[in-house]
Structure 1
Amino acid sequence: MTIVGGRDNFFHCKKCGSCYAIALRDNHLCVENSMRHHCPICYEYLFDSLKDTTVMKCGHTMHCECYYEMIKRNKYCCPICSKSVIDMSRTWKRIDEEIEATVMPEDYRHKKVWILCNDCNDTTEVYFHIIGQKCSHCKSYNTRTIAPPILPH
């Protein structure tokens, strides 16, 4: 039941267990009970909060004002799961261009590393580059270097 803000402006998502602005109906990724957590920025309990909340592309929730402050500070990843929270395709294109223009020293030219993509959760072996490692699956640079997988004998 929506108490604050007017029933006509909100809908109740049964999976999330919370009320959201009408604009998010059929337009949010459900994370069960996502509002029954603390805002990952200010740590206020979201379910009891009277502040506006937003649902990020990954389905995690936070206060709108905390989200905008995070973006203003050039932090574009969910503080909970590290997935990109905005469309980063233009940034990935700029990084592609920068990598193409940057010659790697001979010692690193053929070095490979294993990466985990924070956006699609794929693990891949790629060529190391000082600027960043690109996920071969989703083309994101939101990656981190990991240890090689241990194969069973």
Structure 2
Amino acid sequence: MEAKLSSDGSKSFELGDVECLKEVGYGNYGCSHYRRRCKIRAPCCNEIFDCRHCHNEAKNSMDTDPLDRHDIPRHEVQKVICSLCDTEQDVQQCCINCGVCMGKYFCGKCKFFDDNVSKNQYHCDECGICRTGGEENFFHCNKCGCCYSKLMKDAHHCVQRAMHHNCPVCLEFLFDTMKDVTVLACAHTIHLECLEEMQQHYRYSCPVCSKSIRDMTNVWRMLDREITSNPMPAVYQNKMVWILCNDCGANSHVNFHTIAHKCLNCNSYNTRQTRGGPTASCSSGMAETVL
């Protein structure tokens, strides 16, 4: 298939089978974020970019004047430029000049194109954006304000606008992130890779509410043995302190120990010292080390 130059200098294609237009240039155009056969004109600064992420990275870089930094209003995009024939036109799936399909997946509401349909993209009207993973595999929770896997439908705990905030570790906005997001047992959300990095550094509590992020039974048993084998000096053996459990919220009056303090209600060591003891930070400091 060969491109021909028209009188105005633009490229056009002659095809016997219109369906073949879906494959013209497939996989050869796009950026690191998306494979697609068009670019967008940003309505905010009137510049051309491969996609909204390319725009946001360029306009929020350290080289950009802080007063000029901004994100593209994705739903306000009105013009796209065909990557094959360079024709600028209104947002639509097929080029008005050469007829090529500019994205096998196309959403007119989001002004979004993507040639990689293996992501099983779908548009969620409640979220107002396109998501990946297949519409049949997700449900939208109106209270949380986002889509969750149907595997969680009967078990997830609702948190108002659960993903309409930044990741508590890397501070990237979670609602429209391209990275995998996971939901903790406490219902707070976080990037999966950020969670994995936390655990590599032996941090097992939610950065938002401090509840344990997984079953810590084996760790608590280890601490039981550690405390038993390391009794406090006689001067501290009758010293009592008040603690607050991060997991169940109960207050307990327990023997002071420099390693950790155990909740009398749920047996968790994810606790913080609130009153008493030689220093106010001994127990909470250890809890931070463990969790």
TM-score by length of 1: 0.91
Residue pair 1:29, 1:55 contacting (<8 A) in 2 also: no
Q: Which residue of 1 aligns with 2:259?
A: 131
**Match of 1:134, SS?**
coil
Which is further off, 104-113 or 25-34? 25-34
Q: Which letter does structure 1 place at the counterpart of 2:208?
A: I
| Residue correspondence of structure 1 range 64-103 to structure 2 within 5 A | 64-103=192-231
Unpaired segments of 5 or more residues in structure 1? 149-153
Whole-Å separation in 2 of the counterparts to 1:51 and 1:99? 41
Which of 265, 269, 273 matches 1:141?
269
Query: In 1, Cα distance between the equivalents of 2:168 and 2:258?
Result: 30
CA RMSD of the aligned region, Å? 1.3
- Offset of residue 122 of structure 1: 0.8
1:118 aligns with one of 243, 246, 253 = 246
**Which of 39, 61, 64 is residue 189 of structure 2 equivalent to?**
61
| Letter aligned with residue 250 of structure 2 | D
Instruction: Among all aligned residue pairs of Structure 1 and Structure 2, give the percentage whose two residues are the same amino acid.
Output: 49
Decide which of 32, 55, 63 is 2:160's aligned counterpart.
32
Larger Rg: 2
- The runs of 5 or more residues in structure 2 that have no matched partner are 1-123, 277-291
State the SS of the aligned residue for 2:210: coil
Q: Measure the CA separation in 2 of the matches of 1:73 and 1:44.
A: 20
Q: Which residue of 2 aligns with 1:4?
A: 131
Residues 111, 127 of structure 1: 8 Å contact kept: yes
In 2, Cα distance between equivalents of 1:120 and 1:47: 29
1:21 matched to which residue of 2?
149
- Measured in 1, the distance between the counterparts of 2:252 and 2:185 equals 23
Amino acid paired to 1:42: C
Structure 1 residue 23, shift from structure 2 partner? 2.7
**Whole-Å Cα distance in 2 between the matches of residues 127 and 135 of structure 1?**
11
User: CA–CA distance in 2 between the matches of 1:97 and 1:128?
Assistant: 16
Q: CA deviation at 1:20?
A: 1.5
The letter of the residue matching 1:107 is V
Normalising by the residue count of structure 2, what TM-score does the alignment of the two structures yield? Answer: 0.49
Relative to structure 2, which stretch is displaced further, 88-97 or 99-108? 99-108
* Aligned AA (2:266): C
Deviations 1:1-48 (A, max 9, x none): 272212122211122110122332223221111111110011111112
User: What CA distance in whole angstroms lies between the structure 1 residues aligned with 2:177 and 2:226?
Assistant: 43
Q: 1:112-131 CA deviation, whole Å, 9 max, x = no partner? A: 00001111111111111121
Greater Cα offset, 70-79 or 108-117: 70-79
Distance in 2 (CA, whole Å) between partners of 1:20 and 1:52 is 12
Runs of 4+ in structure 1 off by over 3 angstroms are: none
CA deviations on 1:43-88 (whole Å, 9 max, x unpaired) are 1111121222111011100111111111122110000111100110
Once residues 73 and 104 of structure 1 are traced to their aligned partners in structure 2, the CA distance between those partners, rounded to angstroms, is 28
